Amino acid sequence: MDLIYKHEKKLFGWMLAISLLIWLGLIVGTVGVALVYLLLFFVAYCFAQSALISYLKGTAVKITWQQFPDLKERIDQSCQRLGLEHVPDAYLLQMGGVFNAFATRFLGTNFIVLYSDVVDALEAKPDAINFYIGHELGHIKRNHLRWAALLMPASIIPLLGAAYARAREYTCDRHGFHACDDLKSAQLGLAALAAGGKRWRQMNVAHYSAQAEESSGFWMSFHELVSDYPWLVKRMAVMRALAQGTEVRQPGRSKLAYVLALFIPRMGVGGAGALISVVAVAGVLAAVAIPAYQDYTAKARLAQAVAVGRAASAKVEGYFYANGSGPTTLEQAGFALNDPGHAIQEVRVDPGNGVVRVVLADATLRGKAIAFTPHLDENKKVAWHCGSEDIAPQLLPPGCRGD
CATH of residue 370: 3.30.700.10
- Residue-wise pLDDT tens digits, 26-60: 888 887 777 887 888 888 888 888 998 999 999 99
323 and 353 within one domain:
yes
Q: pLDDT at position 41, please? A: 80
Give the CA dihedral 74, 80, 86, 92, nearest 10 degrees.
-10
188 and 52 within one domain:
yes
Angle value at C-alpha 139, between 192 and 8, nearest 5 degrees:
100
| Phi, psi for residue 378 in degrees, rounded to 5 | -65, -20
257 and 136 within one domain:
yes
Q: Kindly state the average pLDDT of the residues 164-186.
A: 94
Q: pLDDT at position 56, please? A: 92
83 and 202 within one domain:
yes
In a domain, 2, yes or no: no
In which band, very low, low, confident or very high, does the pLDDT at 178 lie, cut at 50, 70 and 90? very high
In a domain, 274, yes or no: no
In a domain, 188, yes or no: yes
Q: pLDDT at position 270, please? A: 40
Helices (H), 226-377: 232-243, 255-261, 272-323
Looking only at the bridges linking them, the beta strands covering 89-93 and 109-115 are parallel
In which band, very low, low, confident or very high, does the pLDDT at 389 lie, cut at 50, 70 and 90? confident
Task: Express as a percent the part of the chain with pLDDT over 90.
Answer: 52
244 and 324 within one domain:
no
In a domain, 152, yes or no: yes
Write the DSSP assignment of 212-230 as a string of letters: GGGGGSHHHHHHHHTSSS-
187 and 86 within one domain:
yes
Q: pLDDT at position 361, please? A: 84
Residue 161 lies in domain: 8-268
Q: pLDDT at position 111, please? A: 94
Q: Kindly state the average pLDDT of the residues 179-206.
A: 92
Domain count, the chain: 2
82 and 221 within one domain:
yes
